[in-house]
Amino acid sequence: MNMRAPPTDLPIMFADAGIVAGAVAILDGITLTISAGSPTVLIGPNGSGKTTLLRAGMGLIPVSRGRITWGGREAAPPAHRAILFQRPVMLRRSAAGNIRYALASAGVPRAERPRRIAELTALVGLNGLERRPARRLSGGEQQRLALARALARDPAVLFLDEPTASLDPAATKAIEDLVHAIAARGVKVVMSTHDLGQARRLAGEIVLLHRGRLIERGSAADFFNAARTEEARKFIAGELLV
Amino acid sequence: MSDDNVSALQLVLTGDPTLLAIVQLSLIVSLSAVMLAAVIGVPFGALLALTRFRGREVAIVVLNAMMGLPPVVIGLAIFLLLSRSGPLGSWGLLFTPQAMVVAQTALVAPIIAALTRQTVEDLWVEYRDELAAMDVGASRRVITLIWDARFSLVTALLAGFGRAAAEVGAIIIVGGNIDGFTRTMTTAIALETSKGDLPLAIGLGMVLISIVVLINALAWGARRAGERYAG
């Protein structure tokens, strides 16, 4: 599989980026640079803006103020970005049909698609389930299929929105192993999670959000061992941020 | 079983030529109307589902209301269009099978368009984020939604066919119920009953009910196939 990070989309830079819905600021003055390297994990309570930040980084939501650039460009089609939503929707096709559709959308030549489908189903551990209707797969299998579909785009940056939120421990481990494998291949992973244990296991860098604002950012080791802000220390201690 | 019922059954089982000719014309007219209505209704419904414009909600309400239009009103409107003094009178279609196809198309197209609109819009709400994330272009989105909704759309087409095959008010006005030319199952049943020739009316009724049951079976089968093959 040819997963590499072309220089085109990285770094992703948020410059005083804000997103407003009605009178509510979903994201407020976010300044953040996402560069190549180990996974960046967004943490924070519900409503802190994690999902919105991921969608904005993917280019699905325009900013209300400030700007976002991808490799220095303000308008960059998501040719080298992919996202796994918290509740991915399976197209009404077989498992292989879902991957085939993503490959076709990414412009992969028809002749190459069978080989890529075989590679991707093997990577996410769905061998033997290629012909099953995607909507009949279990929750964990659907999540892995959605991951394969995202990887079909051969992304340089992969956004994962709480990819294990509704999964049991075994399915969670399968996804985490995949995240490790994907990151090891040079794909920049940017993910959100509520699970601090998962953040410790996966993150190279942590970004803490609260009420749409960036509270603290740093390497995972620094964040968990020497948090600089009161909010971060409370969050790590399991106290409620309100 | 009464003598009329026995005679009706004999007409059906022996393949009475008059009965078969009427059934054949009915199927040709209704199938043609459904095909035309699909060509008009599916793209129109999909367009209405996927575009936003001023007055869209009014258009949806009007379209939904048109599903319940009385066939005689449609028949009257088509009659006025195609009559000698009407805007399309020079086409010479009045009292022909083609006029019946036009009337049934007008009756069925709103049903197919409204059901397509609902089906495609529901699927679009589901698919919107994923297709945007995959950077799927506008034309491919439409094709994807229609393809993935195909089993539901087949049900819509069959519902339209059921409406067309069972309709009498519009086609009797624009077709004239001419023996051997524009006489269909429903118009023949109405006429033969009024004449007291019950065996032919009952025989045609049996065939019509069988067709309606078959349509429902096909609709059910399409839905089951959809669940089985596409999830």
SS3 state of residue A87: coil
**Residue B95 belongs to what domain range?**
3-230
Average pLDDT for A67-95: 91
**Residue A51 belongs to what domain range?**
12-89+155-236
Q: Tell me what percent of the residues of chain A surpass a pLDDT of 70.
A: 97
Average pLDDT for A65-84: 89
A77 interface with B at CB cutoff 8 Å? yes
Query: How many structural domains does chain B have?
Result: 1
Q: Which residues of B touch A83 (CB under 8 A)?
A: 133
Read off the pLDDT of residues B21-53 as tens digits, 9 standing for 90 and up.
999 999 999 999 999 999 999 999 999 999 999
Q: What is the pLDDT of residue B222?
A: 83
Read off the pLDDT of residues B52-69 as tens digits, 9 standing for 90 and up.
999 999 999 999 999 988
Q: What is the pLDDT of residue B96?
A: 96
For residue A133, what are the β-bridge partners?
A: A94
Q: What is the pLDDT of residue B218?
A: 87
Phi, psi for A160 (deg, rounded to 5): -125, 120
The first and second tokens of residue A54, run together, are: 């991921």
Read off the pLDDT of residues A37-62 as tens digits, 9 standing for 90 and up.
999 999 999 999 999 999 999 999 99
Non-local CB neighbours of A61 within 8 Å, separated by 6+ positions: A19, A52, A55
d(CA A102, CA B145): 15
Q: What is the pLDDT of residue A5?
A: 45
Q: Chain B closest CA to A98's CA: distance in Å?
A: 11
Q: Which residues of B touch A79 (CB under 8 A)?
A: 135
Residues of B with CB under 8 A from a CB of A: 126-127, 129-130, 132-136, 140, 144, 148-149, 226, 228-231
Strands (E), A3-127: 12-21, 24-34, 40-43, 65-70, 81-84
The first and second tokens of residue B137, run together, are: 């272009």
- Is A40 inside a domain boundary? yes
Residue burial A72-95, b: 16+ Cβ < 10 Å; e: rest: eeeebebbbbbbbbbebbbbbbbb
Q: Chain B closest CA to A43's CA: distance in Å?
A: 22
- Is A94 inside a domain boundary? no
Confidence band for B164, pLDDT divided at 50, 70 and 90: very high
Confidence band for A138, pLDDT divided at 50, 70 and 90: very high
Confidence band for B2, pLDDT divided at 50, 70 and 90: confident
d(CA B63, CA B178): 32
Query: How many structural domains does chain A have?
Result: 1
A83 interface with B at CB cutoff 8 Å? yes
Q: Are B187 and B176 in contact (CB under 8 A)?
A: no
Q: What is the pLDDT of residue B146?
A: 93
Among candidates A58, A134, A150 on the partner chain, residue whose Cβ is nearest the Cβ of B231: A134
Confidence band for B230, pLDDT divided at 50, 70 and 90: confident
> Looking at chain A from residue 94 to 133, which residues have their Cβ under 8 Å from any Cβ of chain B?
101-102, 105-106, 133
Which chain A residue has the Cα nearest residue B132? A60
pLDDT at position B197 over 90: no
Q: What is the pLDDT of residue B145?
A: 95
Using alpha carbons only, give the angle B22, B25, B31 rounded to the nearest 5 degrees. 135
Confidence band for B1, pLDDT divided at 50, 70 and 90: low
Average pLDDT for A169-180: 92
- Is A101 inside a domain boundary? no
Domain CATH code at residue B145: 1.10.3720.10
Average pLDDT for B207-225: 88
Mean pLDDT, chain B, as a whole number?
92
DSSP string, B114-143: HHHHHHHHHHHHHHHHHHHHTT--HHHHHH
Q: What is the pLDDT of residue B231?
A: 66
Q: Chain A closest CA to B134's CA: distance in Å?
A: 6
